[in-house]
Structure 1
Amino acid sequence: MGTNTRSDTVKAFLATYLLPVVQLLLGGVFLFSGFVKALDPAGAVIKLDDYATAFGLTIIPLFTYLTAFLQAAFEFALGAFVLLGLYKRLTAWLVLLFMGIMTPFTLYLALANPVSDCGCFGEAITLTNWETFGKNVVLFVFSVFFYLFYARTWTLFGHRTSRWAATWVVLFPLLIAIHAYRHQPMIDFRPFKPGTDLRALTTAVPDSFSYSFIYEKEGIRQPFTIDQLPASDEGWTYVDRSEQLVKAGKSPVIDNLAILHPDAGDITASLLADTSYVFLYVADKLETADRRRVPDAREAYAYAHTYGYAFYGLTASDQTTIDEWRYEYDTPFEFCTADDRLLTTMTRSNPGLILIKNGVVLRKWAYRDIPEFASLDKPLYESSIGQPRHRSLFRVLGLSLLVFLFPLLYFHQLHTGRLARLEHHTLTSSTSV
């Protein structure tokens, strides 16, 4: 009897104090993971292609995009289900099953290292494979605990409103992913977002050292800094020099930015040093680039040519493909070549247009959003197009949170209102009896 009482006390303590923490952390991690994947489905596709290459698989592009969309929606919805208490038993099973698969899989990734980054949190947070495995071990423990106590977790909805809430929870990340696919990610975690100084990110910071000079006098050795070196007539004799690392240097954030002109060679430095506006028409693969808005690119080039702005095409395609493209679509601007991964990092749209000045990214457009330069009759410095556009991270997150929560609050209000009406009806019936 005493043992059962003690066991019940422990369970009650865990359910009261530890379960809410586990529910928040477990649900929050899944929600965040799904959200950042929905923000950048093209990035998730790139990571899936990395996995396919590492394991020697060939995947149809349409399937990778479908997988990226569904993965983002699944992880986001699973996290929201945990946090909101939706379909408790099913959610507990799915979380446990998911972590039961991913934990040994990430152990294999840590041991074999087929890819350097698992892509769990997209471009927002980069983890090594061992860090990912450690994270998953913790989440697996949380998922076991959550499964054991799921019946005691909170819930915010009733039977009917749970269906409405679940539908919205699945639909929300899909809408974000569709928007990012058609335009640009609402939140850009890559090093080419507007406002970025590319010169700073392509420059390495060397290690910083302090130096000590060892001198000897009458059998005694003493270190001196460079500002304290003894005079030659003081009897000190130089013996040795030592160095101490004061501050470790940093590798450049962007280490593969090399833009090769067909005639001038590497023009990266001159392009970033250009004090005027520079247009970059980026199409990582001309073979798969959307051709419907090529006239918009020609109009942008004509505008740039009129006002003396540089305009370059950037692609990773070979010269034969470039020549065929220029002939077929009558593109008057020249194409430079660059690394394919670099170009997909610069813009997720294929093609896309980037505007820079003094090496700073000012604007980025997906091909669907390229402005109508044919109707622009003034230089860029007099137009809003030529001004930097910064998206506040907190503003975007705040608006996204409001859009996500508003329907859920409405469904919750319907649920609580229905409960209040039922309670009132029950009280009225008992009083009348």
Structure 2
Amino acid sequence: MKALVWFCRIAVGLLFIFSGLIKANDPLGFSYKLQEYFEVFHMMFLNPLALTIAITLCAIEMLLGFALLIGTHAVKVAWGLLLLIIFFGFLTFYSAFFKVVQTCGCFGDAIPLTPWQSFSKDMVLLALVLVIFMKRRTIMPLFSPSVGNSLFLGAVVFSFGFGLYTYNFLPVIDFLPYKVGANLPDEMKTPPGAMPDEFEITYQLKNKTNNATKVMTDKEYMKSGIWKDSNWEVVGEPQSRLVKKGFEPKIRDLAIQDASGTNYTQELLSNPFYNLIIVAYDLGHTDEQAIGRINALAANLTDNYNIRTVLVTSNSPADATAFAKKHHLISEIYYADGVPLKTIVRSNPGVLLMKGGTVVAKWHYHSLPKYDDVVKTYLRQQ
């Protein structure tokens, strides 16, 4: 039994730390996932708190896992683990059964899981946590109270500090398709010979003579030859069901247009020269001081190196034009849906330096480089 408890402690502790850490690597992305759940449960009033809740939840996961491993506050930790895994289990079951949120975000974008996979994972975790809960009073700390409390305090600082750092300076590891080094036009292509989605169509059939009914798949329908019999007719609309998922490009929802609706996606992303793309998905909530610094950087790069600078936003052309006039922007302005813009860079505004369709560098506005640094690091290497 002691060995079983230790196995459960190590497995649950490491998994909770990993789960919290991987989501804290991209707390803004996790907050978007929480907003999906808020919408499902009609709790949109929590949307302004989504980021705070995301960072806090990630920190709690890491702290519970760490405390379990070192054995400190065992009874409280066991209760916390049990309540948290029951809560997560309910969410993943609800998502899977009612087909609402189709990716739970349990491991962020690093390991995407379907709702049923997430629910299965939670049930395995629940079994391990129940062992810990039943034996919670037998778990002894590995260190003295003073050392254990000091370690736990350090874990608190790290857990919250890591989430705050990645929110303010971009994820430490970027798991998104717009990461540095990615060639965006390639990420949007479907290779020749790639398998498409495979669907199964189900027909409801009725016999006009005796009113008998049948349900047949499209393959059964064709193989049986029943379609040749004029006594049988298809009733209602055929039902389509996805049987096998085919190839899906990593980037499939990005469309960049000008104010008149002309698509410029390929032209902008395939630019063979260095170009600067400024992403500000919501101009109403963008950091205006940062816009000023980015505009100054863009002006210097344009004047001295003839670099094309583009601002992409989800705002209306009228709002974007007024914003550009107010801040004397030198950038061309284009438009795209807010969802892919939030994925391109977890910053509002954020900046990408691109060449030949490849993301050369990506910056949060808090870590925007100086003009001389951009020239020295990238442009003088041409």
Fold match by TM threshold 0.5:
yes
Distance 1:72 1:266 in 2: 39
User: Which residue is 1:22 aligned to?
Assistant: 8
Q: Which amino acid aligns with 1:40?
A: D
Alignment pair present for 1:158 and 2:144: yes
Shift of 1:372: 2.2
Shift of 1:164: 1.2
Q: 1:117 to 1:298 in 2, by over 3 A?
A: same
| Secondary structure of 1:261 counterpart | coil
Distance 2:290 2:270 in 1: 29
Q: 1:144 to 1:291 in 2, by over 3 A?
A: same
Shift of 1:323: 1.5
Report if the CA contact (8 A) 1:205-1:251 is conserved. no
Alignment pair present for 1:75 and 2:61: yes
Q: Which amino acid aligns with 2:329?
A: T
Report if the CA contact (8 A) 2:74-2:140 is conserved. no
Shift of 1:280: 0.4
| Secondary structure of 1:260 counterpart | coil
| Secondary structure of 2:135 counterpart | helix
Alignment pair present for 1:86 and 2:83: no
User: Which residue is 2:100 aligned to?
Assistant: 114
Distance 1:374 1:321 in 2: 32
- 1:15-46 Cα offsets, whole Å, 9 max, x none, are 22x22221111111111111112111111111
User: Which residue is 2:84 aligned to?
Assistant: 98
Which of 19, 37, 54 matches 1:51? 37
| Secondary structure of 1:356 counterpart | strand
Shift of 1:374: 7.1
Distance 2:35 2:261 in 1: 33
Alignment pair present for 1:360 and 2:358: yes
Q: Which amino acid aligns with 2:126?
A: F
- 1:262-307 Cα offsets, whole Å, 9 max, x none, are 3582111122322111110000100110111222122222123221
Q: TM-score, normalising length from structure 2?
A: 0.82
Report if the CA contact (8 A) 2:72-2:140 is conserved. no
Alignment pair present for 1:269 and 2:270: no
Distance 1:32 1:293 in 2: 33
Residues 238-387 of structure 1 mapped to structure 2, 5 A cutoff:
250-262=247-259, 265-306=262-303, 307-373=305-371, 380-382=378-380
| Secondary structure of 2:359 counterpart | strand
Which blocks of at least 5 consecutive residues in structure 1 are unaligned? 1-13, 210-247, 387-433
Shift of 1:258: 1.3
Q: 1:266 to 1:100 in 2, by over 3 A?
A: same
Q: Which one has the largest radius of gyration?
A: 1
Distance 1:376 1:285 in 2: 26
Mean Cα displacement is larger for which, 142-151 or 153-162? 153-162
Q: 1:272 to 1:323 in 2, by over 3 A?
A: closer
Count of residues in correspondence between the two structures: 333
Which of 123, 126, 135 matches 2:112? 126
User: Which residue is 1:33 aligned to?
Assistant: 19
- 1:35-88 Cα offsets, whole Å, 9 max, x none, are 112111111111111112222322355421211111111011011111121111
Alignment pair present for 1:173 and 2:159: yes
Distance 2:2 2:375 in 1: 67
Q: Which amino acid aligns with 1:335?
A: I
Mean Cα displacement is larger for which, 81-90 or 148-157? 148-157
Distance 2:318 2:46 in 1: 25
Q: Which amino acid aligns with 2:253?
A: N
Mean Cα displacement is larger for which, 96-105 or 307-316? 96-105
Distance 1:205 1:83 in 2: 46
Q: Which amino acid aligns with 1:267?
A: Y
Distance 1:346 1:64 in 2: 20
User: Which residue is 2:187 aligned to?
Assistant: 201
Shift of 1:156: 2.1
Shift of 1:150: 3.1
Q: Which amino acid aligns with 2:115?
A: N
Which blocks of at least 5 consecutive residues in structure 2 are unaligned? 196-244
Q: TM-score, normalising length from structure 1?
A: 0.72
Report if the CA contact (8 A) 1:296-1:372 is conserved. no
Distance 2:176 2:104 in 1: 16
Q: 1:304 to 1:67 in 2, by over 3 A?
A: same
Q: 1:120 to 1:264 in 2, by over 3 A?
A: closer
Aligned-residue CA RMSD in angstroms? 2.2
User: Which residue is 2:50 aligned to?
Assistant: 64
